Structure 1
Amino acid sequence: MSIDWITELTAILTKEKLSNSDGDRFRHSKDESFHPPSEPEVVVFPETKDDITAALQVANRYDIPVTPYGAGSGLDGQSIPINHGISMNFERMKEVISFNPEDLTVTVQPGITRLELNKEINRHGLYFPIDPGADASIGGMTATNASGTTAVRYGSMRDQVLNLEVILSDGRIIKTGSDAKKSSSGYHLNSLFVGSEGTLGIISEITLKLHGIPEHIIAARCTFPSPKACAEAAHAVLMSGIPIVRMELVDASSIKQVNAYGDYQFPEEHSLFFEFSGTQVSAEEEASVVQELMDESGCGNWARASGSKERAELWRARHELAYAYRHIKGMAVAGSDVCVPISKLADLVVYAREHIEESGLAGGVFGHVGDGNFHTIIVYNPDDPGEVKQAETINEKLVLKAIEVGGTCTGEHGVGLGKMKYQDREHGGAVEVMKSFKTLLDPRNRLNPGKIFY
């Protein structure tokens, strides 16, 4: 470990903004993924954009890699510092820089989490809708183009970001957009940096669109005899044109697992979960129409939850689903998050479920079927090479099938470490264009090196 650059960094930032303790280095060596940990040499806790710039200047002089770190809730290794160096944690940059309720916009620092942001703005009748489940940081959500259960109506982070302040590897500070709701001016740099996973620049400010809190919200669920029937019923809802807020598929194995984990009492069958919002009249009407569609599709166990406590319980169960699998003692999990054209969704869900069952491993299929994005999670014994190989094979087959039908290897988790090997298959010659952007903006490959592509 070179003492020179750490000594210089400490002198510039002060000891309070830097740590190389064993505990901090270990905490920043991993995320929620199954990828092996890798410790940074030092962790920096910037409090201002000047702190970020100072750290980047030292990294420039000594050719030290810098890996951004949000809440550590990533699922594909984006924040793992595989080349060691500096891990840059934004937990001290949580300010709301400007809040303009009349414009339905807010500008925040990257470390604020989505729940912290909503706590600040909810009392003004506004909310930020992107909900990946975990209380992720807004910076991390921007870096991975996160989405989640509300994607069917609100899309992903890319659809909600108006402007970014980005600090480039050489210390230049740029703005990528404006506070206006749309623009036809210049290249769309927002879309370049949202989803770039910290490989092109360090995001220091994010300006977001906000939305009014709806007057009335209804949640509902129902069951079907097969995952394919669930997917086909979801497709029928989309074809009806109903502006549904959430529509989630959860297979029977996953319902059983979350019941055991959280002491819930859901029918242990393949299920769809819904949320409708708007005025009371519109939400009630939409829920009634969807109930009719589900009845026509052969559903069972239709149940509605209009009260806030019932709704919260229903969605808490959905969000705990992945953790229900991850907390099986002595076992590890692997998963995928492919996204496919809506018309291909039912077949891909069946394809995934069949491969899990054929393997003999435990696992589930669930996800945001309203936008063609679904997840698999496979439980395996990490000490059994055969089971490890089976889990990897299932994921690979699913990803390749998704790409084959015109889909993508990742709908929301990002590329990170696990999906790099599929970039050429999915993007072809466009990968070289992506690499050219990386070379232009980070010619010495210091920003989160070893991520997205080889």
Structure 2
Amino acid sequence: MTHPALDALRSRFGDRIDTGATQRAQHGAGDSWHPAAPPDAVLFADTTQEVSEALAICNARGFPVIAFGHGSSLEGQIQAVRGGLCIDLSRMNRILRVSAGDMDCTVECGVTRQQLNADLRDTGLFLPVDIGAHATMGGLASTRASGTMTVRHGTMRDRVIGLTVVLPDGEIIETGGRARKSSAGYDLTGLFVGAEGTLGIITELTLRLSGIPEMAKAGLYSFPDIAGATETVIEALQCGLCLNRIELLDALQMRAINAWNGTAHPETATLMVDLAGSAAQVAGDLDTFGDLAAAHGADAVPCATAEDYTALWALRHSALHAARGLRPGCKSLSTDVCVPVTELPAIIAAIQAEIAAEGVVAPLHGHVGDGNFHLVMLFDPDDADEQDRVRRLNHRLVDMALAHGGTATGEHGVGLGKKVFMEAQHGPALGLMRRLKRAVDPGNILNPGKIFDL
């Protein structure tokens, strides 16, 4: 039987309400290991007003709504676990304003980071949120994403200074603004950044930009072990070097990258390092980093040309697909715990020992400069025992991270996959999150079942 909300949506949007199996399937899985859960219908929205009207219709009839950007989320954020309407925001991809002098811009939620940076290139500015996947600005903000440049530029939380948000009942609000700072009341912008579409749907964002540096140089450093690599990172951070990216890859990940890309780099613990700033600063800091790495037994492969630089970071961005290539046909659970940097050697050694004991294939790569690393745990989707082992290892890793002062998720978000850890991480504060959800969305229509259950 057709839900009354679908009849009302069709009355307003006509054949733009798509209930075909193909569109529903494409909007119910994402890039996660969680089971697919398609919505009952899909709407491609073109404006904030259309999002408002759709939400008002659904809220009045208790019909769930899930926002969709590019579908690259990893923790089941877009799965329609209770059915409902998926609002695809990818057509809202206009760059509304760029102020080069103020180093900010306003964009619609469907703009991708690649599109924005291509548009900004002639201004000398860019958005330094460098994740591996294509993703929209709305999705990046909703999961509080980050990426390889976090060590220098921060996360999306540090980049978003204002939002246009549609609340569950269809009301349109604006938060924040363009001022560099404000003491005016609650930080509502921060409330919606990282809320994963459970409190409102972000339709426009005002973003703080950065200047493209005069010079950037990179290098690949091969270490005898992970401990030496992480100690080098700690020392480099303490020296205040102009680090732009500093990425750790273990021996298995390097083997995967070589196989995937046809390269022949040493298959041992590796740092990929990027320094950015003035020419003099970069040259001096690169020499200093080389000395620190050499003291821990590293061999260096500098990137002499712009082509070498581009090729190095293309290798890094291939890491997830290369890891999956180790076992074709398998699925992957990609972890993303984050801990204080000094805690990295202990937690990595401990979890890798347990991985070896369980016989699981799990290459490691991550943003070691901010304490965030990924284990790509590969498993056969038809092997229940192997799936159980991977889930247990993931649980053990999160327990370790929390015990070391860290978090269950540094950048992928909570979605479905990390809900089970929220009580341990937040304690009584999780109750406040539930109260906020009930206050803003009393009908629980926005992305229900994500982050926590009511």
Shared fold, TM over 0.5: yes
SS in 2 for 1:103: coil
Aligned to 1:14: 14
Aligned to 1:215: 214
Of residues 294, 317, 320, the one that matches 1:319 is: 317
Whole-angstrom CA distance in 1 between matches of 2:371 and 2:307: 29
Question: In the TM superposition, what is the alpha-carbon distance from 1:121 to its structure 2 partner?
Answer: 0.7
SS in 1 for 2:60: helix
Q: Is the 8 Å Cα contact of residues 229 and 293 (structure 2) preserved in structure 1?
A: no
Aligned to 2:38: 39
Q: Say how many residue pairs are matched.
A: 452
Whole-angstrom CA distance in 1 between matches of 2:35 and 2:157: 29
Question: In the TM superposition, what is the alpha-carbon distance from 1:435 to its structure 2 partner?
Answer: 0.7
1:29-64 alpha-carbon deviations (Å, 9 max, x no partner) = 101110000111101110001110111011012210
Q: Which amino acid aligns with 2:8?
A: E
1:246-282 alpha-carbon deviations (Å, 9 max, x no partner) = 0000001001011111212221111001001111111
Whole-angstrom CA distance in 2 between matches of 1:132 and 1:194: 17
SS in 2 for 1:362: coil
SS in 2 for 1:363: coil
Aligned to 2:65: 66
Q: How does 1:154-173 map to 2 (within 5 A)?
A: 154-173=153-172
Whole-angstrom CA distance in 1 between matches of 2:213 and 2:308: 17
Q: How does 1:294-305 map to 2 (within 5 A)?
A: 294-300=293-299, 302-305=300-303
Q: Is the 8 Å Cα contact of residues 247 and 273 (structure 1) preserved in structure 2?
A: yes
Whole-angstrom CA distance in 2 between matches of 1:298 and 1:258: 22
Query: Which aligned runs of 4 or more in structure 1 are off by greater than 3 angstroms?
Result: none
Question: In the TM superposition, what is the alpha-carbon distance from 1:3 to its structure 2 partner?
Answer: 5.1
Question: In the TM superposition, what is the alpha-carbon distance from 1:19 to its structure 2 partner?
Answer: 1.5
Q: Which amino acid aligns with 1:11?
A: S
Question: In the TM superposition, what is the alpha-carbon distance from 1:419 to its structure 2 partner?
Answer: 0.5
Q: How does 1:360-399 map to 2 (within 5 A)?
A: 360-399=359-398
Whole-angstrom CA distance in 1 between matches of 2:329 and 2:132: 24
Whole-angstrom CA distance in 2 between matches of 1:64 and 1:243: 50
Q: Which amino acid aligns with 1:8?
A: A
Whole-angstrom CA distance in 1 between matches of 2:47 and 2:163: 15
1:191-245 alpha-carbon deviations (Å, 9 max, x no partner) = 1110000000000110001111111110111011112221121111111111311
SS in 2 for 1:198: coil
Q: Is the 8 Å Cα contact of residues 373 and 411 (structure 1) preserved in structure 2?
A: yes
Q: How does 1:40-439 map to 2 (within 5 A)?
A: 40-300=39-299, 302-327=300-325, 328-439=327-438
1:165-194 alpha-carbon deviations (Å, 9 max, x no partner) = 111111222122110111122111121110
Q: Is the 8 Å Cα contact of residues 242 and 281 (structure 2) preserved in structure 1?
A: no
Q: Which runs of 5+ in 1 are unaligned?
A: none
Whole-angstrom CA distance in 2 between matches of 1:366 and 1:330: 21
Question: In the TM superposition, what is the alpha-carbon distance from 1:383 to its structure 2 partner?
Answer: 1.5
Question: In the TM superposition, what is the alpha-carbon distance from 1:353 to its structure 2 partner?
Answer: 1.8
Whole-angstrom CA distance in 1 between matches of 2:305 and 2:40: 50
Q: Is the 8 Å Cα contact of residues 332 and 377 (structure 2) preserved in structure 1?
A: yes
Whole-angstrom CA distance in 2 between matches of 1:19 and 1:101: 40
Whole-angstrom CA distance in 2 between matches of 1:400 and 1:26: 34
Aligned to 2:2: 2
Q: Which amino acid aligns with 1:382?
A: P
Whole-angstrom CA distance in 1 between matches of 2:359 and 2:287: 40
Q: Is the 8 Å Cα contact of residues 349 and 365 (structure 1) preserved in structure 2?
A: no
SS in 2 for 1:286: helix
SS in 2 for 1:220: strand
Aligned to 1:27: 26
TM-score, normalization by structure 2: 0.97
Whole-angstrom CA distance in 1 between matches of 2:345 and 2:104: 37
SS in 1 for 2:82: coil
Q: Which amino acid aligns with 2:264?
A: Q
Q: Is the 8 Å Cα contact of residues 217 and 306 (structure 1) preserved in structure 2?
A: no
SS in 2 for 1:165: strand
Question: In the TM superposition, what is the alpha-carbon distance from 1:306 to its structure 2 partner?
Answer: 4.2
Q: Which runs of 5+ in 2 are unaligned?
A: none
Q: Is the 8 Å Cα contact of residues 331 and 379 (structure 1) preserved in structure 2?
A: yes
Q: Is the 8 Å Cα contact of residues 242 and 282 (structure 2) preserved in structure 1?
A: no
Cα 1:311/1:143, change in 2 over 3 Å: same
Q: Which amino acid aligns with 2:78?
A: S
